[in-house]
Structure 1
């Protein structure tokens, strides 16, 4: 799986240094063109499942994260064109929609986050675009909406971690591998993948099944299972 290194030089934003700074909207997604997967949150599963295989992968020894598969080859994102445009009519994961902004932990402050921006983003510091702060040094309404989006994403990220923790507790993950042969004979293999074992769900006691329903996790699980057929869609997109 590709690394999520799209933020080249993130810096903390503040109303003094960046009072007059503007940030233009993202128009070129070439920064994502070599990512064949991206981390997603549970609230995205339903929409993401319409376009991408949604699977789980191990991030370290004891961490499992859900990802959307964007391409079958290394450094290939089938949803970003040569012109840097995202494929029209398809879902764009929130991880990319945040860019060039991101929340970062404040050192020494528990559960505290600060807003950062990738200063390498070509739209940072332009004469036209979204103003971050007004003349009084307060966040503009538009920037407030960006911050709210970042905060909502962080909350959803934590909720997704809770879902993964519960699926581990219920022993519902199983290791899988994907071996794909493309029309021209090229063979591609995926390792370190996990999926939810549907038979494991059937074998749960009623209390655990009710818990999956009430938390909304069961809907996420079936979106994930439904999405696996999208591996065929990705094969069809390869030229």
Structure 2
């Protein structure tokens, strides 16, 4: 259900990556878009620890399986199902949108594998940036970055900093051996057997209760325990998301896990 959402070479949602520069993109503008068709089929969205408290009100927060788990906000329980975005790509109700979504079509990345600095990149296939008549200019007549570009860059920088804090959080969880293979069984009325969801990781609450007192105190002071609790509390929303799928007609037809 919650394997890390990624493509072989490009991050989730990105079809291509190009460095933004004043020479090639002097006349480019950034504009708002009313729909996000690239989001309609995405059920698991990468999340940073800075967003746990807000996101846990709307989505279950789990961790991807594999050697390098990532926090994920589940907008649906099954592949290709997003219960908050319609087929037209429009968000159907007011919910918290993870920074990973709001960052697109921009991101910071290395231009070369051996590079030490990150450059501002964008997806040239996105309808949110290009040579449009409307929208906010990315560069002025002299080729200098505008306030729009500076805001985009600042947002991407904050995202990268959040990603580093997220990795530090995950290192703490792994060092304490708190991550376990997750499983959630949901019984649907009229079905003989429950729907069982696996393929993700979650905090082992039994091991959490057995943590040494000094570590618990340290995690309380650092705020890390608050993040763990946000994750645990959010798991109750698995049944809420499943109910949304039933209502929308996207729930699995037979007893099967995604």
> CA 1:106–1:184 in structure 2 vs 1: closer, same or farther (change >3 Å)?
farther
2:166 is the alignment partner of 1:156: no
Post-superposition CA distance 1:110-135 (Å, at most 9, x none): 2x211111111123212211211112
Post-superposition CA distance 1:3-37 (Å, at most 9, x none): 34311122111111111111211321211111111
Following superposition, the deviation at residue 210 of structure 1 comes to 2.2
Residues in 2 aligned to 1:90 and 1:55: alpha-carbon distance in whole angstroms:
18
Instruction: Give the RMSD, CA atoms, in angstroms.
Output: 1.8
Contact 2:19 2:111 in 1 (8 A): no
**Runs of 5+ consecutive residues of structure 1 not aligned to the other structure:** none
Q: TM-score, normalised by structure 2?
A: 0.85
Contact 2:59 2:234 in 1 (8 A): yes
2:29 is the alignment partner of 1:32: no
Following superposition, the deviation at residue 235 of structure 1 comes to 2.0
> CA 1:104–1:188 in structure 2 vs 1: closer, same or farther (change >3 Å)?
farther
Residues in 1 aligned to 2:78 and 2:62: alpha-carbon distance in whole angstroms:
16
**Runs of 5+ consecutive residues of structure 2 not aligned to the other structure:** 7-11, 248-258
* Greater mean alpha carbon deviation, residues 156-165 or residues 200-209: 200-209
Q: Give the match's secondary structure for 1:64.
A: coil
- Equivalent residue for 1:55, pick from 56, 62, 67: 62
* Greater mean alpha carbon deviation, residues 1-10 or residues 205-214: 1-10
- Equivalent residue for 1:145, pick from 151, 154, 166: 151
Contact 2:220 2:226 in 1 (8 A): yes
Residues in 2 aligned to 1:116 and 1:140: alpha-carbon distance in whole angstroms:
16
Contact 2:186 2:239 in 1 (8 A): no
2:221 is the alignment partner of 1:197: no
Contact 1:173 1:195 in 2 (8 A): yes
2:46 is the alignment partner of 1:45: no
Following superposition, the deviation at residue 183 of structure 1 comes to 4.7
> CA 1:200–1:124 in structure 2 vs 1: closer, same or farther (change >3 Å)?
same
Contact 2:44 2:76 in 1 (8 A): yes
Q: TM-score, normalised by structure 1?
A: 0.91
Structural mapping, 1:114-153, within 5 Å: 114-125=119-130, 126-153=132-159
Q: Which of the pair is proportionally richer in strand?
A: 1
Residues in 1 aligned to 2:17 and 2:72: alpha-carbon distance in whole angstroms:
23
Residues in 1 aligned to 2:179 and 2:230: alpha-carbon distance in whole angstroms:
15
> CA 1:37–1:187 in structure 2 vs 1: closer, same or farther (change >3 Å)?
farther
Contact 2:60 2:73 in 1 (8 A): yes
Contact 1:182 1:235 in 2 (8 A): no
Q: Give the match's secondary structure for 1:208.
A: helix
Structural mapping, 1:1-239, within 5 Å: 1=2, 3-4=5-6, 5-58=12-65, 60=66, 62-107=67-112, 108-110=114-116, 112-125=117-130, 126-183=132-189, 185=191, 188-238=195-245, 239=247
Post-superposition CA distance 1:176-222 (Å, at most 9, x none): 22233445649644322111123322222222112212322111111
Contact 2:40 2:88 in 1 (8 A): no
